[in-house]
Structure 1
Amino acid sequence: MKKIILLSMALCLSFTFNAQTLDNLKITSKKYGLSKMKKAQKKVYINSFNVNFEIYKEAIDFKAGGNGGRIGGNTSSATAKAAVGLSGVDANKMQAKTNKLFENFKQRLKSEGYEIISADVAGKAKSLEKWNKATGPFMKENIPGVITCAPENYAFYYKKKGALGLGGLGIQAKLSKELGDVIIADVNLNVMFSESGNDWMKGRAAKVKIKTNLRLVNDYVITVPQKLKKKKSTLGKLFGSVKIKGAVDTYPINSMISFSYGKAGLGSQTQFNGTLKDDAEISGVMKKEKIVAYQKQGSFTPTSFTSFSNYLDAKEDRFSKNAKWITVDSDAFANGFYIACNTFMDKQLNAFFSKIK
């Protein structure tokens, strides 16, 4: 398990804002057979409580070169890489806010008359008998640049190494039955600060654009440049050992609160899935800006006046990079994160309980 080390590098910019607002957080939900859940016994097992926040982003673009003959000429390959990271994020404050979110969730369940089933009791279910148990508090970088924070006094099960923090995904129906027809709760909260920008008019060049936009995301795909698996080249050592051809790994995520009950099957399982209508932007923490890396391809068209050195210069692969670190106020970041997650969670719990009373 990777340990999270707080970033403490010399930085370019520092933004501190006193005011914090949450713009236009609107929820939506899908409901299946909630009338059955009204009759269920008031017991809940918190199957997963995933809280993720982003502190670093890398992006890469690659433009392949080639031989176009005497008319098109020869072109070199071009690679552009951009990166942006946050400094000032305090791990202790983020852990404290995550703990508070979890306590709020549990207290709301209890205030509605629900008993929370412990992980020790749930671990006796057949569906979890070969799963591993983990206990918070901890922070872990499951996805490069994205921190998963497990709250204090929370235990859960995961199936395989590398899936820590994901909880018992895909087994809610079985688990509900095996635990005596209890309600299974799953919480996913994802706060991202970066998003990819598009540029369709880049021509013979590699270009990558990262935009900063702190928000609680609805549906989002995290992209991470793939690392070299074989021996690192000199270029790889210099630029983070990414594959020059721009290959990336993708990780789809979404913010959602769900409650499941009953066995699987049409007309049998009852479910409430609460999501966002759109991303909820968190204002007053960091400015919106763009980080761009651009690299034009070299080109060579043979004529009677060109030399072999002209050819070598044009065919040499080109690489450019642009990296930036942004300082955020630790309290503003932690508070903005908490306000967004708690507002979403509170609205979804209101919507859920209003339907099953």
Structure 2
Amino acid sequence: MKTKLTSLLLFVVLLFIQNVFAQELGEFKPKEDTFGLGKLKSKPKKIYISNFSINYQLFNVKQKTNKGGSLFRDKGVQGDATAELMVGLGSLSESDFQLIANNLYQDFVSQIKSKGFEIISADVAGKTNTYEGFTKAKGPFVIASDKPGIITAVPEGFEFYYMDRSKVGKALAAKFGAMNTTQQSLSKDLDDVVVVAVDLYVFFMKDVYAFQGNAANIKIKTQLSLVANETIAAKSDDKGIFKKQVEYITGANTINFTCGKYPIGGSAESVYTGLLKKDFTIENVIDEKVIQSYAKGAVDFVGTDTYFGKYYEAENKSSAKTTIIPVDTKKYNEGVIKAGKEFLKYHLDAFSSEFK
């Protein structure tokens, strides 16, 4: 009896420890934008996955400058101030990002099939007029995004088509992207199948307001999450004359289902876009804290007397801070997979219910 009681107590303790250290998620607040879902009841229960990508924020570099100059009524001068801040995640590798993408994609495909949908292959989609001139690619791979500090993972076994910007030019491709009707055109070409596109963003930080005054001040807060709609500033590496020194990186987790196309106007007949109302946080993976870089130019109130009058000279000041944030890779992988599955399952369930 005593042995059984001891075993029971040990089991309770182990269970308590497991719960304490279990991967925790913040509040999940989904939302959706929909149109014409009533038409889905007459559509075939078939799906083509046109996009499935996971975008990870790996690092961020910032810079702010406060120009000095003459003080009030020319009673001195202040030097320039420049603050730089670089933050990045440690320990993670391409294999971690690939593992997450593969896991989420495999689970998503299984969920689709379990709901009775037939999945259309990339080979079939590639024969459509919509994809004429597009280039075919296949995962698995991890590449650097065109957004600073972001890398993108495409899952193993996933085949897709994209417009090669090198062939049409970046400006023209951007113009096409702004008036993109690929999803509904593809759906129409495939006899009104559902076309789904998944684009997930995993950020580990967000910008925090920092009062500038007569200084250069940068603040960020570390927080791992699937972001609802986050815009973060980053220093641009492009010094071209037509480029800004600051770029703004926007991440928004979305899953978009499109079906059918109206012959007049070209808009989709049915659209379901799954989103988040607020960031879906992933707890206990990285330390949540505020990181700051601050610089203020020196001030010369006294000056030096010269034959021509007072001469003022103040030293420029700079602050550069680099912070590498330790990451428990196991918890990172488990947390992002758990959050991603919850996001995708919720919206797939909500969308597929329209076919009943």
Question: Which interval holds the TM-score relative to the shorter structure?
Answer: 0.7 to 0.9
TM-score of the superposed pair, with normalisation by structure 2: 0.82
Match of 1:178 among 179, 182, 189: 189
What is the identity, as a one-letter code, of the residue corresponding to 2:134? W
Offset of residue 355 of structure 1? 2.7
2:207 corresponds to 1:196: yes
Aligned-partner Cα distance in 1 for 2:267–2:90: 50
Residue of structure 2 equivalent to 1:127: 130
Match of 2:224 among 199, 202, 214: 214
Offset of residue 182 of structure 1? 1.2
Residue of structure 2 equivalent to 1:252: 250
What is the identity, as a one-letter code, of the residue corresponding to 1:156? F
Match of 1:150 among 117, 133, 154: 154
Which digits, 9 at most, give the CA deviation of each residue in 1:40-94, with x for residues without a partner?
Answer: 1121111111211112122221212234575353332211011111111132233
2:309 corresponds to 1:311: no
Please state whether the residue corresponding to 1:173 is helix, strand or coil.
Answer: helix
Aligned-partner Cα distance in 2 for 1:298–1:196: 27
TM-score of the superposed pair, with normalisation by structure 1: 0.82
Residue of structure 2 equivalent to 1:224: 234
Residue of structure 1 equivalent to 2:342: 343
What is the identity, as a one-letter code, of the residue corresponding to 1:188? D
2:326 corresponds to 1:292: no
Residue of structure 2 equivalent to 1:278: 278
Please state whether the residue corresponding to 2:225 is helix, strand or coil.
Answer: strand
Aligned-partner Cα distance in 2 for 1:266–1:184: 15
Which digits, 9 at most, give the CA deviation of each residue in 1:235-276, with x for residues without a partner?
Answer: xxxxxxxx9xx8311232210111101115498621011111
Residue of structure 1 equivalent to 2:43: 40
Offset of residue 150 of structure 1? 0.2
Q: Which has the higher contact order (CA 8 A, sep 6+)?
A: 1
> Structure 1 vs Structure 2: percent identity of aligned residues?
35
Residue of structure 2 equivalent to 1:4: none
Residue of structure 2 equivalent to 1:269: 269
What is the identity, as a one-letter code, of the residue corresponding to 1:282? I
What is the identity, as a one-letter code, of the residue corresponding to 1:350? D
Aligned-partner Cα distance in 2 for 1:140–1:304: 57
Aligned-partner Cα distance in 2 for 1:303–1:104: 70
Residue of structure 1 equivalent to 2:14: none
Aligned-partner Cα distance in 1 for 2:252–2:115: 26
Residue of structure 2 equivalent to 1:19: 22
Residue of structure 2 equivalent to 1:107: 110
Moved more, 146-155 or 116-125: 116-125
Aligned-partner Cα distance in 1 for 2:298–2:311: 10
Query: Structure 1's 72 and 119: CA in aligned 2 closer, same or farther, altered over 3 A?
Result: farther
Residue of structure 2 equivalent to 1:13: none
Aligned-partner Cα distance in 2 for 1:344–1:186: 14
Residue of structure 2 equivalent to 1:235: none
Q: Is the Cα contact below 8 Å between 1:139 and 1:149 reproduced in 2? A: yes
Please state whether the residue corresponding to 1:283 is helix, strand or coil.
Answer: coil
Query: Structure 1's 25 and 123: CA in aligned 2 closer, same or farther, altered over 3 A?
Result: same
Moved more, 155-164 or 202-211: 155-164
Structure with the higher fraction of residues in helix conformation: 2
What is the identity, as a one-letter code, of the residue corresponding to 2:352? F
What is the identity, as a one-letter code, of the residue corresponding to 2:81? A
2:28 corresponds to 1:29: no
Offset of residue 216 of structure 1? 0.7
What is the identity, as a one-letter code, of the residue corresponding to 2:214? R
Q: Is the Cα contact below 8 Å between 2:198 and 2:255 reproduced in 1? A: yes
Offset of residue 354 of structure 1? 2.0
Please state whether the residue corresponding to 2:130 is helix, strand or coil.
Answer: helix
2:86 corresponds to 1:75: no
Q: Is the Cα contact below 8 Å between 1:177 and 1:262 reproduced in 2? A: yes
Aligned-partner Cα distance in 2 for 1:139–1:306: 63
Residue of structure 1 equivalent to 2:91: 88
User: Structure 1: which 4+ aligned runs deviate by more than 6 Å?
Assistant: 306-310
Query: Structure 1's 40 and 65: CA in aligned 2 closer, same or farther, altered over 3 A?
Result: same
Which digits, 9 at most, give the CA deviation of each residue in 1:161-186, with x for residues without a partner?
Answer: 4899xxx8641111111222111101
The alignment's C-alpha RMSD in Å is 2.8
Offset of residue 309 of structure 1? 11
Which digits, 9 at most, give the CA deviation of each residue in 1:170-213, with x for residues without a partner?
Answer: 4111111122211110111111001111122x321001012100
Residue of structure 2 equivalent to 1:117: 120
Aligned-partner Cα distance in 2 for 1:109–1:132: 26
Aligned-partner Cα distance in 1 for 2:269–2:189: 14
Please state whether the residue corresponding to 1:328 is helix, strand or coil.
Answer: coil
Unmatched 5+ stretches in structure 2: 1-19
Moved more, 114-123 or 209-218: 114-123
